[in-house]
Amino acid sequence: MSNPSLLILAGDGIGPEVMNEVKKIIGWYGEKRDLAFDVEEDLVGGIAFDTHGTPLTDATMEKAQNADAVLLGAVGGPKYDTLDFSQKPERGLLRLRKEMDLYANLRPAQCFDALADFSSLKRDVVAGLDIVIVRELTSGVYFGEPRGVHKEGNERVGINTQRYTESEIARVARSAFELARRRNNKVCSMEKANVMESGVLWRDVVTEIHQAEYPDVELSHMYADAGAMQLCRWPKQFDVIVTDNLFGDLLSDAAAMLTGSLGMLPSASLGAPMANGRPKALYEPVHGSAPDIAGQGKANPIACILSFAMALRYSFDQGAEAERLEKAVEKVLADGLRTGDLLGPEGGSPISTAEMGDAILAAL
Amino acid sequence: MSNPSLLILAGDGIGPEVMNEVKKIIGWYGEKRDLAFDVEEDLVGGIAFDTHGTPLTDATMEKAQNADAVLLGAVGGPKYDTLDFSQKPERGLLRLRKEMDLYANLRPAQCFDALADFSSLKRDVVAGLDIVIVRELTSGVYFGEPRGVHKEGNERVGINTQRYTESEIARVARSAFELARRRNNKVCSMEKANVMESGVLWRDVVTEIHQAEYPDVELSHMYADAGAMQLCRWPKQFDVIVTDNLFGDLLSDAAAMLTGSLGMLPSASLGAPMANGRPKALYEPVHGSAPDIAGQGKANPIACILSFAMALRYSFDQGAEAERLEKAVEKVLADGLRTGDLLGPEGGSPISTAEMGDAILAAL
Ligand SMILES: CC(C)[C@H](C(=O)O)[C@@H](O)C(=O)O
Ligand SMILES: CC(C)[C@H](C(=O)O)[C@@H](O)C(=O)O
């Protein structure tokens, strides 16, 4: 039997640097744990635009469709700010999400004990925090039509459309309920049903799926603005949060920042099962391309490494190996090793991207 | 000359309780400072629906249009959750905002020194915080058409439309730049121009207004998800933030919570100047109707009282009197007086809504 396949799309900014460390880890699993992967690499984002004139070629899209899992670094940078909307680096990522139909984006917001003091929040508010935001990723205002900027009289008008179908809501709700069952059995659904009809439908469908299929899970609803507040006030009240594409974008970033561990947080974007039973899947760090520190060996590779751990768990059914990797990361942090982003105002001496990767390898 | 007119719409939940304290303050200004107002009261939200079958009657709308300023308490409550969308309490508030054309919603997020320890954030992150979010309030996904839930085949589909015209963006940008000039001269504009064309137009128009009319103000742009992060990480980097209706809803609530002073934060919603030179204006606390504590005399009236202070400043050109009121609030807090929401986990003995109002009166 052939090895499972990984497509690596390192992307822009710090993407290639952090992905380098992941490649070492992948190599280690092949050598030491008999878990070899067929790895292919390709381009996405600004670098793809520079090379091919498009942020994602059809050939790369095809490879992604056929890979057992895609690992992505980051896309975007100021260099591409003036590009036309359709050619922006982000469009490459959005095309992957849409065409692979990766509707459930799992974003854990976890506070690593060794880093609890690094949060801008008080220690007791975040220590031990472990919640997951399940963000709908293939629909909503990111993809709805009509969209664009046009002229009306002598004014420009900008339009986007928030659009959700019943089945789009139902499937991501199921993902959230399934996940909650494997955790603390609590789901909080967030929308603005008080002002948006798409939010009314969201609330209705989540409630129906809950009653029909997951009555054992505790379900609550919250307006997204109140959700943003409660995340800042007492995030530990949550277990699994399910929300739409745009709210999920803001809320998961806020949640990530709360943990004080932005450079640490992975994500998994999952779709329907393929013929081999594995879900379509893309794994990427929550952080962006950080152009300000790109190419300097300063970036924290942990979010990208933990994204690979999520791949082990969700795509390759290797929960124990995923835990091994997560434990190695915890050990290195407990030992006091820190990239620059993990140093507080008191300072200290940061280690490089590669040193962090090597330390994790050694801890494995 | 007749007195300036105030329309009081106390609304639902804790609205009437907190507004009661404001009425005492208004009375004080009439008696002691020769600043008398003609006050009229009417209904909005759930109470208006209970009485008239609509969250805002045309007659009340008309009074609001003619008042020199509207003071609003809060709307909404679980009792009304099952009402049809068009009859929900929130529609009353949204109709006021829309028909009075109150496009600039000023939401200060200020950390009161006496309360800095009460935030879930560390003291040094929030102490002295003083930023203002200028939220566009009459357009965007709150009001765009088409909207609603309809059937397509045998599925329900929920739709809302994010729509901004050039002039809608330009006028709220001007409000933000004007405000910044009276503060620390810095504006940060937030959108998702990387994924939404309406955000591209937003960024373009804000940039154009800046270059043509306010080149002296420092302008930066941030994606709204990064903005949510940065608000949680180091909010003091901002002075004035300008953003759209929906992003403003989430970001201002998050910012309010950060200060630890949610029950303290006022807001002003301003429109174009009326014939008498005063802007159309509505003032309301940022907090909601808090149905869980309604009717118990526990609510904190400070946000509503400080909203009246904003009315003194923005509608009646009484900046010195506004400051007098704000100083009285600070004094009462410095004296250690606390409603229940302002007590930390250590507890202490809370005073009632009326006691807080009376203490502020006494401090005046
Ligand atoms: C890069 C951008 C298109 C993306 C998004 O808005 O979804 C990012 O912010 C994210 O959260 O993954
Ligand atoms: C009550 C609701 C309609 C309102 C909004 O969404 O604008 C509230 O959350 C606010 O921020 O003023």
Q: What is the residue-wise DSSP string for A42-60?
A: E--THHHHHHHSSSS-HHH
Which residues of B225-329 form beta strands (DSSP E)?
240-243, 266-273, 279-285
- Dist. CA B339–CA B334, nearest whole Å: 13
Q: Is the pLDDT of residue A188 over 80?
A: yes
Q: Do B157 and A166 touch (CB under 8 A)?
A: yes
Q: Which letter, b or e, does each residue of B258-295 get, where b requires 16 or more Cβ atoms within 10 Å of its Cβ?
A: bbbbbbbbbbbbbbeeeeeebbbbbbbbbbbbbbebbe
Residue A285 has φ and ψ, to the nearest 5°, of -65, 155
**Residue A298 marked in a binding site:** yes
Confidence of residue B243 (pLDDT cuts 50, 70, 90): very high
Q: What is the residue with the minimal CA distance to atom 3 of ligand 1?
A: A90
Confidence of residue B277 (pLDDT cuts 50, 70, 90): very high
CA of A210 from ligand 1 middle (Å) equals 28
CA of B265 from ligand 2 middle (Å) equals 14
- Dist. CA A5–CA A105, nearest whole Å: 21
Q: What is the predicted pLDDT for the residue at A347?
A: 75
Which residues, including other chains, have CB under 8 Å from residue A331's CB and lie 6 or more apart? Answer: A363
pTM comes to 0.96
Q: Do A201 and B149 touch (CB under 8 A)?
A: yes
Q: List, for residues B41-66, the tens digit of each pLDDT value.
A: 999 999 999 999 999 999 999 999 99
Q: Which of A253, A247, A258 is nearest to A222 (CA)?
A: A247
B68 as an active site residue: the answer is: no
SS3 B171: helix
Q: Which letter, b or e, does each residue of A257-293 get, where b requires 16 or more Cβ atoms within 10 Å of its Cβ?
A: bbbbbbbbbbbbbbbeebeeebbbbbbbbbbbbbbeb
- Helix H or strand E segment including B355: helix B353-363
- Mean pLDDT value of segment B113-135: 91
**Residue A281 marked in a binding site:** no
SS3 A72: strand
B244 as an active site residue: the answer is: no
Chain A residues close to B141, C-beta within 8 Å: 141, 162, 196
**Greater model confidence, B150 or A344:** B150
DSSP state of A102: -
Q: What is the predicted pLDDT for the residue at A112?
A: 87
- Helix H or strand E segment including A258: helix A245-258
Q: What is the residue with the minimal CA distance to atom 6 of ligand 2?
A: B249
**CA atoms lying within 13 Å on the CB side of residue A302:** 27
- Mean pLDDT value of segment A53-70: 98
Which residues, including other chains, have CB under 8 Å from residue A63's CB and lie 6 or more apart? Answer: A7, A40, A42
Which domains occur in chain B, in start order? 1-106+265-364 (3.40.718.10), 130-258 (3.40.718.10)
Confidence of residue A109 (pLDDT cuts 50, 70, 90): very high
Instruction: Find the residue in A nearest to B165 (Cα).
Output: A157
Q: Say if strands B155-165 and B144-152 run parallel, antiparallel, or are unpaired.
A: antiparallel
Q: What is the mean pLDDT of chain A?
A: 95
Distance, in angstroms, between B97 CA and closest chain A CA? Answer: 13
Q: Do B167 and A157 touch (CB under 8 A)?
A: no
- Dist. CA B256–CA B190, nearest whole Å: 17
Confidence of residue B1 (pLDDT cuts 50, 70, 90): low
Q: Which of B364, B319, B287 is nearest to B19 (CA)?
A: B287
A24 as an active site residue: the answer is: no
Which atom belonging to ligand 1 lies closest to the Cα atom of B194? 3
Q: Which of A113, A82, A102 is nearest to A327 (CA)?
A: A113
Count other C-beta atoms under 10 Å from residue B107's C-beta: 23
Q: List, for residues A271-307, the tens digit of each pLDDT value.
A: 999 999 999 999 999 999 999 999 999 999 999 999 9
- Helix H or strand E segment including A242: strand A240-243
CB-nearest partner of A250 from B157, B194, B224: B224
Binding-site members of B for Mg(2+) are: 225, 249, 253
C-alpha angle B303-B304-B308 in degrees, rounded to nearest 5: 115
B225 as an active site residue: the answer is: yes
Q: Which of B23, B13, B4 is nearest to B308 (CA)?
A: B23
Q: What is the residue-wise DSSP string for A267-288?
A: EEEEEEE-TTSPEEEEEEESS-
Pocket of ligand 1 (CB under 6 A): A 76, 90, 93-94, 249; B 194-195, 225
Q: List, for residues B308-341, the tens digit of each pLDDT value.
A: 999 999 999 999 999 999 999 999 999 999 999 8
Distance, in angstroms, between B280 CA and closest chain A CA? Answer: 23
Q: Which of B225, B317, B327, B335 is catalytic?
A: B225
Q: Do A192 and B246 touch (CB under 8 A)?
A: yes
- Dist. CA B165–CA A158, nearest whole Å: 6
Pocket test for ligand 2, best of B90, B135, B136 (most atoms within 8 A of CB): B90
Confidence of residue A114 (pLDDT cuts 50, 70, 90): confident
Q: List, for residues A120-158, the tens digit of each pLDDT value.
A: 899 999 999 999 999 999 999 999 999 999 999 999 999
C-alpha torsion angle, residues B304, B307, B309, B314 (rounded to 10): -160
Pocket of ligand 2 (CB under 6 A): A 194-195, 225; B 76, 90, 93-94, 249
Single-letter amino acid code for the residue at A201: L
Q: Is the pLDDT of residue A190 over 90?
A: yes
Pocket test for ligand 2, best of B244, B249, B257 (most atoms within 8 A of CB): B249
Q: Say if strands A266-273 and A104-110 run parallel, antiparallel, or are unpaired.
A: antiparallel
Asked if residues B199 and B164 have their Cβ atoms less than 8 Å apart, the reply is no
- Dist. CA A304–CA A357, nearest whole Å: 10
For a pLDDT cut of 90, what percent of chain A falls above it? 91
Distance, in angstroms, between B345 CA and closest chain A CA? Answer: 12
Chain A residues close to B249, C-beta within 8 Å: 192, 224-225
Q: What is the predicted pLDDT for the residue at A258?
A: 87
Q: Which of A280, A288, A321, A323 is nearest to A304 (CA)?
A: A288
Q: What is the predicted pLDDT for the residue at A259?
A: 84
Distance, in angstroms, between A119 CA and closest chain B CA? Answer: 8
Q: Is the pLDDT of residue A344 over 80?
A: no
Asked if residues A232 and A242 have their Cβ atoms less than 8 Å apart, the reply is no
Q: What is the residue with the minimal CA distance to atom 12 of ligand 1?
A: A286
Q: What is the predicted pLDDT for the residue at B95?
A: 98
Q: Do B253 and A155 touch (CB under 8 A)?
A: no
From the CA atom positions of chain B, what is the Rg in Å?
A: 20
A225 as an active site residue: the answer is: yes
Q: List, for residues B79-117, the tens digit of each pLDDT value.
A: 998 899 899 999 999 999 999 999 999 999 999 888 888
Chain B residues close to A158, C-beta within 8 Å: 162-165, 196-202
- Dist. CA B44–CA B90, nearest whole Å: 9
For a pLDDT cut of 70, what percent of chain A falls above it? 99
| Mutant choice from A105, A196, A249 vs B, greatest count of B C-beta within 10 A | A196
DSSP state of A84: -
CA of A55 from ligand 1 middle (Å) equals 15
Q: What is the predicted pLDDT for the residue at B215?
A: 98
Which residues of A22-122 form beta strands (DSSP E)?
38-42, 69-74, 104-110
Confidence of residue A345 (pLDDT cuts 50, 70, 90): low
**Greater model confidence, B242 or A259:** B242
- Dist. CA B134–CA A65, nearest whole Å: 43
- Dist. CA B356–CA B364, nearest whole Å: 12
DSSP state of A121: B
Q: List, for residues B347-363, the tens digit of each pLDDT value.
A: 788 999 999 999 999 99
- Dist. CA A179–CA A130, nearest whole Å: 13
Q: Is the pLDDT of residue A346 over 80?
A: no
CB-nearest partner of A160 from B197, B204, B205: B197
Distance, in angstroms, between A168 CA and closest chain B CA? Answer: 9
